[in-house]
Chain A
């Protein structure tokens, strides 16, 4: 049975209809029309669907939409403010960290939490912060460089 709920996504209130079993991933992609959050495995294994809930990176495919009412959700569409890219986005472009790009948005969200909590992370800390996100194109090297660049810029 569908029900209407209000979700706070990227600082805006979205009234959307969800089934009780709908994941946050589905709510974002199929109900709110925010397709930056990607479905890679739908089973908590790849991290393509990573978003922030109250500042913490979560797999939106493993999160019920109903469970995040009243919380602040940030998807990749909320990273740039007023058309100005987040330093993480700038750095991903600059470092050549984007290849196919399918994992990119999820990894940037994991990096967003990391840099919010630790503005000068070590390489070790960066590697562990994105260990829940798979990338099959880059070997992660330029992604790590991008997060280092963003940290230096921030």
Chain B
């Protein structure tokens, strides 16, 4: 029997009922009386200077209430990324809200608020802009060459950031190698494809206070960025926590153009202003940065690495935004920390181009690194006749090892990658794998494997990155608890998992005795975003701490009622009782009612005195940063079928083994893994945001052109296995999950395709054209 009542069970999401009956709580549904509708005029040029803008005709259109041009908005330079402080040294402050200098197709040049969307759109057509077109550059390697167009005066050769890490003696390491392998791997531009568009409603009052509703992943980040961009005190900006977000996946991890422009338009008109992006606008708002990786590995005959080096070139687009951080995380976690090797060198370049900006996307540099590293290792194993799993096992970190990046003060206390590989291989049937290209049929089958040795893109000691969380837990007289936290559920299930943690800690009747309640930036403690792989661990620790504090108070009041010592009491299944004699106790309802009762309480037995010490709502709060954010890890196995006549790749089955610490909610964890595979498979096989090579305009800006996997393309079964290491620092032993499952699939699928047809595809996506070309058929 489990030691827990609520943890480890697939409790039903509290939001599921509302979501199947219409789901009112999305930001897209927020409307206000008198609300105006905003629209942006966007540049058709990739690189240009605005000579003049004439909006006088637009202003005359009935229903147009306000127009903003570049000269009307603050010119403070900012970095839009939520999870770093506004002036973080690690980030590049290179954006302004609207500018006379255009650096990508789609950059806003004017904003309009009107009484209807139709009027706002009609007014856009009446704005006359005269551009001076400038030469543009779309390839990051070309952008670093002499003579390339320069995007920002502060960045010679268009290099926004150039981090590097070294250990040992690389040259000696390569000299000591029996063999040296090199390879170049390239990932493409993919979109998060959250289903709810980016949308916001901003209202202002006569004192200039703002109230903000937005589909985003970080309330406090939005407050901070808005206040900075608009140069106003943070206390004048209130961001409301959305009940739900229609998906984020990192795509809503920065302030957009729409929130600050809505705020300015609202301040100007005195009305609430709403922006809702079209899907075409969403596609050019943020993306996963494409990265090209040049990789070199020195290895002994027995499979031990002697030297590893890599150079990564990231296309950060018109502004550094996330790209300046993605490159670091990509190099540090995706390459440098992954496998043991005494001699290491990595250098990264985040390069400006006249492409759209990058963004956060689940994995944050990880999928790009994993595709390169795990494809490269597969090539090495194949060339040396080694088993791919044994090659990883020989070089990976093991439980108890010092943390590869924080070794002086953190150990990998829970880290069962070897178990993920070994048990996964057994359950999947890895031993049935045949030599690459040995299937002689027209439709060839292949088995592939990849793992993610180290991944948490949250707190790993990186400077300037928030990892805090906070919560307020308040007990109600009916025995339920209200949980207020700024941790937003993007769909990944925090509403239920955090409720389970509170219910377990407080001994409530069940997870459904906890209500995730209203929160805004005025009323709850600071929280980092729902991003990286952090909410279950970090927010979980914070809600547990708040519940612990409330429990202490619950037991104190209970002690006065039971005439016992608080230390001798426990709370279980909704009752406070002396440890070991559950029949003796009182219900939580009775304790909370007592604490909130008048001084003399009237009961069935007549008036009963209570003491002043008992008085006061039973409440607990927390605001804290966790000691670390321990890494989950995963191994993934796939079988594919490649049609050598059409080039089509079909994924037949998938097996994932994950170490995510203790699983709080198995159903929710499986859901994360299954959805993660879909995103990874899309990146592997089909997704690619395409741009006109001459103009830089996005040409795949809706779901008819940008294809993501449907139920038909998905494999019949995705199996998940959780290896429950019990993380000593985690809430009830849990770690976080989100990213590992999305990082691995492109590499695992590419390796399976190689096993099927003996053709190695080193640039994503693996399209039928590339397969047929690889087979010599094109």
Say whether B22 contacts A35, CB under 8 Å. Answer: yes
CB of A137 within 8 A of CB of B247, answer yes
The answer to whether A143 and B711 touch (CB under 8 A), given A98-B20, A101-B246, A136-B678, is yes
- With A40-B195, A101-B15 known as contacts, the answer to whether A141 contacts B20 (CB < 8 A) is no
Interface centre among B29, B249, B711 (most CB of A within 10 A): B711
Contact B679 A99 (CB under 8 A): no
* B16 in the interface (beta carbon within 8 A): yes
B19 at interface by CB-CB < 8 Å: yes
Report the stretch among B1-9, B161-169, B224-232, B488-496 that lies at the interface: B488-496
Q: Which of B664-693 contact A (CB under 8 A)?
A: 667-668, 670-671, 674-679
The answer, yes or no, to whether A104 is at the interface (CB within 8 Å) is yes
A115 within 8 A of B: no
Q: Which residues of B contact A103 (CB under 8 A)?
A: 195
Cα distance A134–B249 in the bound complex, in angstroms: 15
Is A39 a contact of B28 with CB atoms below 8 Å? yes
- Given A134-B708, A136-B679, A138-B674; A46-B703 close (CB under 8 Å): yes
A126: nearest chain-B partner, CB-CB: B711
For the complex, count residues of B whose C-beta is within 8 A of A: 55
Residue A1 lies at the interface, judged by CB distance under 8 Å to chain B: no
Q: How far is the CA of A140 from the CA of B208 in the complex (A)?
A: 46
B745 to nearest A CB, angstroms?
11
Interface digits, B688-710 against A, CB 8 Å rule (1 contact, 0 not)? Answer: 00000000000000111000101
- Closest Cβ of chain A to B146, distance in Å, is 42
**Shortest distance from the beta carbon of B468 to any chain A beta carbon, whole Å:** 24
Asked if residues B19 and A101 are in contact (CB atoms below 8 Å), the reply is yes
Contact mask for chain B residues 1-38; partner A; CB cutoff 8 A; 1 contact, 0 none: 00000000010110111011111101011000000000
A7 at the interface (CB under 8 A from B): no
Interchain CA distance A146-B10 in the complex, whole Å: 15
Q: Is the CB of A138 within 8 A of B703?
A: no
Contacts of B714 in A (CB 8 A): 127, 139-141
Minimum distance in angstroms from A25 CB to a CB of chain B: 12
Are B718 and A40 touching (Cβ within 8 A)? Answer: no
Q: Any chain A CB within 8 A of the CB of B778?
A: no
| Chain B residues closer than 8 Å to A142, beta-carbon distance | 667, 670-671, 674
With a cutoff of 8 Å between Cβ atoms, the chain A residues found around residue B279 in the complex are: 40-43, 45-46
From A36, A77, A100, A123, name the one whose CB has the most chain B CB atoms within 10 angstroms.
Answer: A100
Known contacts A93-B16, A127-B712, A134-B708: A38-B675 contact under CB 8 Å: no
- When distances are taken between beta carbons in the complex, the residues of chain A under 8 Å from B196 are 38, 40, 100, 102
Q: Closest A-chain residue to B283, C-beta based?
A: A41
Contact A98 B13 (CB under 8 A): yes
Specify which of B20, B29, B247, B702 lies most central, judged by the most chain A CB atoms within 10 Å of its CB.
B20
CA distance A132 to B710 in the complex (A): 8
Secondary structure call for the B interface: loop
Distance between Cα atoms of A41 and B707 in the complex (Å): 13
Q: Which of A101-121 contact B (CB under 8 A)?
A: 101-105, 108
- Cα separation A26 to B672 with both chains bound (whole Å): 32
A residues contacting the other copy or chain, number (CB 8 A): 52
A135 within 8 A of B: yes
Write out the residue numbers on chain B whose beta carbons fall within 8 Å of the beta carbon of A140.
Answer: 674, 678, 710-711, 714
> Which A67-115 residues sit within 8 Å CB-CB of chain B?
76-77, 79-80, 85, 89, 92-94, 96, 98-105, 108
Any chain A CB within 8 A of the CB of B390? Answer: no
A107 to B193, CA, bound (A): 17
User: Would you call B23 and A36 a contact (CB within 8 A)?
Assistant: yes
> Which B residue sits closest to A86, measured CB to CB?
B20
Residues in A whose Cβ lies below 8 Å from that of B247: 100, 102, 136-137
A56 to B128, CA, bound (A): 45
Does B293 lie at the interface of the complex (its beta carbon under 8 Å from any beta carbon of A)? no
CB of A48 within 8 Å of the partner chain: yes
Do A76 and B21 have beta carbons less than 8 Å apart? yes
Task: Indicate if B466 sits at the interface (CB-CB under 8 A).
Answer: no
On whether A104 and B23 interact (CB within 8 A), knowing A96-B13, A138-B671, A142-B671, the answer reads: yes
Judge whether B194 is part of the interface by a CB distance below 8 angstroms: yes
* Residue among B23, B712, B714 having the largest count of chain A Cβ atoms under 10 Å: B23
User: What is the bound-complex CA distance between A100 and B252, given in angstroms?
Assistant: 14
Are the CB atoms of B278 and A42 closer together than 8 Å?
yes
**What would 6 more interface pairs be, CB under 8 Å, given A40-B195, A46-B703, A132-B710?**
A45-B279, A126-B711, A133-B710, A136-B194, A139-B671, A139-B714
16 CB < 8 A contacts A-B: A45-B704, A48-B195, A76-B20, A89-B20, A93-B16, A94-B12, A98-B19, A101-B20, A102-B23, A103-B195, A134-B195, A134-B703, A135-B195, A136-B708, A140-B674, A140-B710
Lowest 6 CB-CB distances: which A-B pairs, in order? A100-B491, A45-B703, A36-B22, A102-B246, A101-B19, A139-B674
Chain A residues within 8 Å of B, Cβ to Cβ: 19, 34-36, 38-46, 48, 76-77, 79-80, 85, 89, 92-94, 96, 98-105, 108, 123, 126-128, 130-144
